[in-house]
Amino acid sequence: MQHSALINVMVKAALRAGRSLKRDLGEIEHLQVSLKGPANFVSLADKRAEEMLYTDLSKARPGYGFLGEEGGTREGTDKSHTWIVDPLDGTTNFLHGIPQFAISIGLQREDTIIAGVVYNPANDELYIAERGKGAFLNDQRLRVAGRRQLNECVIGCGLPHIGRGDHVQFRAEMETLQNKVAGLRRFGAAALDLAFVAAGRLDGFWERNLSPWDVAAGQILVREAGGTISGVEGKDDAVTSGHVVCGNEYVHGELLKILKAASK
Ligand code: IPD
Ligand code: CA
Ligand code: CA
């Protein structure tokens, strides 16, 4: 499968940083048994992966700005392009040796995400999307699931954990939804959750209080796979609002209604 030069740059960077994360995952098992635990090691793995991504991406596209979870904003001379990068999405999974984590790279031009790559080095699943050119998993074209009966749908979510988000609001949303769907899932890596919606594995997904690097690449994956993605208001942007609701057009609409009802 031929992809654009831009996608090739993003894929190459993701694969190199992915090899580094995969090596580090091997170390985690040894560190699990030590008293201090692997937390510091993981934060180093995280930073190392981000530096690799910064080096590769800025070498291939000098001047583009870079927004990374670890290093924050690095201004570029080209004010219309910004890489939006999470070097390790699903840190808690990684820390526990759970193979559900990813590198997420989005490219923003002006206010629009124009390309996205999400790569899970643990199982070698590589998701790519470019504006107007479709979404792919390891070269297979992706399409969101077509289900139009909520009681047949499996919906992913993000669960606010200790010190994060509004737990009461989440419980109200979950309670309203769990009576209506075939199943709820919490996998723990938002970029992959969005990729799973693009791949039709999840029928829909919602999560509040995410950051741009969690959502940028996944947003274009969902859109290019024919899905609908927004913030919780329906017309707002998921990347900038940090709240995400997505699925096929029908599921997206139903989720919005249910979330609204739950907040009354
Ligand atoms: C987290 C994951 C998780 C989501 C959290 C994010 P991180 O990212 O995407 O699924 O629920 O809100 O912060 O910290 O592992 O990069
Ligand atoms: Ca993240
Ligand atoms: Ca992260």
pLDDT in tens, 54-70: 999 999 999 999 999 99
CA distances from 199 to 22, 108, 127, 221, 260 (A): 23, 22, 9, 9, 26
pLDDT of residue 233 exceeding 80, the answer is: yes
With cut-offs at 50, 70 and 90, classify the pLDDT of residue 235: very high
Q: Percent of the chain beyond pLDDT 90?
A: 84
Burial code (b: 16+ CB inside 10 Å, e: under 16) for 32-55 equals eeeeeebeebbeebbbbbbebbbe
**What is the mean pLDDT of the segment spanning 22-31?**
82
For the chain, the helix, strand and coil percentages under 3-state DSSP, each to the nearest 5: 40, 25, 35
Mean of the per-residue pLDDT values of the chain: 94
Decide if 150 contacts 134 (C-beta within 8 A): no
The band of 164, judged by pLDDT with boundaries at 50, 70 and 90, is confident
- Res. 163 pLDDT band, cuts 50 70 90: confident
Average pLDDT over residues 188-216: 98
Query: What b/e sequence results for 75-94 when a residue is b if at least 16 CB atoms lie within 10 Å of its CB, and e otherwise?
Result: ebeeeebbbbbbbbbbbebb
* Domain boundaries, given as residue ranges, for the chain: 5-141, 150-262
Percentage of the chain beyond pLDDT 70 is 97
* Ligand (nearest to CA of 209): 1
Beta strands in the chain (DSSP E): 64-68, 72-74, 78-89, 102-109, 112-120, 125-130, 134-137, 140-141, 154-157, 183-185, 204-207, 228-230, 244-247
Q: What distance in angstroms lies between residue 164's CA and the mean position of ligand 1's atoms?
A: 11
Q: If you classify domain 150-262 with CATH, what class do you get?
A: alpha beta
CA distances (Å), 128 to each of 46, 100, 104, in order? 21, 17, 10
pLDDT at 260: 93
Please tell me the residue having the least CA distance from ligand 1 atom 2.
189
Dihedral sign for Cα atoms in the order 199, 1, 133, 10: positive
C-alpha–C-alpha distance, residues 107 and 81, integer Å:
7
For residue 71, what are its two tokens? 């290093």
Q: Do 197 and 247 contact (CB within 8 A), yes or no?
A: yes
Compare 169 and 192 and report the one with higher pLDDT: 192
pLDDT value, residue 40: 79
The average pLDDT across 75-87 equals 97
CA 214 to ligand 3 centroid distance, Å: 8
- Where does the pLDDT of residue 41 fall: very low under 50, low under 70, confident under 90, or very high at 90 and above? confident
What's the CATH superfamily of 5-141?
Answer: Fructose-1,6-Bisphosphatase, subunit A, domain 1 (3.30.540.10)
CB-CB contact of 228 with 96 (8 Å): no
Indicate if the pLDDT at residue 15 is higher than 70: yes
| Contact status, residue 4 vs residue 107, Cβ threshold 8 Å | no
Q: What is the pLDDT of residue 33?
A: 57
Task: Tell me how far the alpha carbon of residue 30 lies from the centroid of ligand 3, in angstroms.
Answer: 22
Considering every ligand atom shown, identify the ligand nearest to the alpha carbon of residue 186 and give its number: 1
Q: Which of 25-39, 115-129, 219-233 has the lowest mean pLDDT?
A: 25-39
158 alpha carbon – ligand 3 mean position (Å): 14
Cα three-residue angle 196-225-171, rounded to 5 degrees: 40
pLDDT for residue 27: 83
Per-residue pLDDT, 43 = 83
Whole-angstrom CA distances from 112 to 50, 107, 125, 172, 222 are 22, 8, 25, 33, 14
- 241-250: average pLDDT: 98
Which tens digits make up the pLDDT trace of 112-121? Answer: 999 999 999 9
pTM (2 d.p.): 0.96
Residues flanking ligand 1, CB < 6 Å: 86, 88-91, 158, 188-190, 207, 210, 214
Model confidence band, residue 36 (pLDDT cutoffs 50, 70, 90): low
Tokens 């909520």 correspond to what residue? 150
Q: Would you call 107 helix, strand, or coil by DSSP?
A: strand
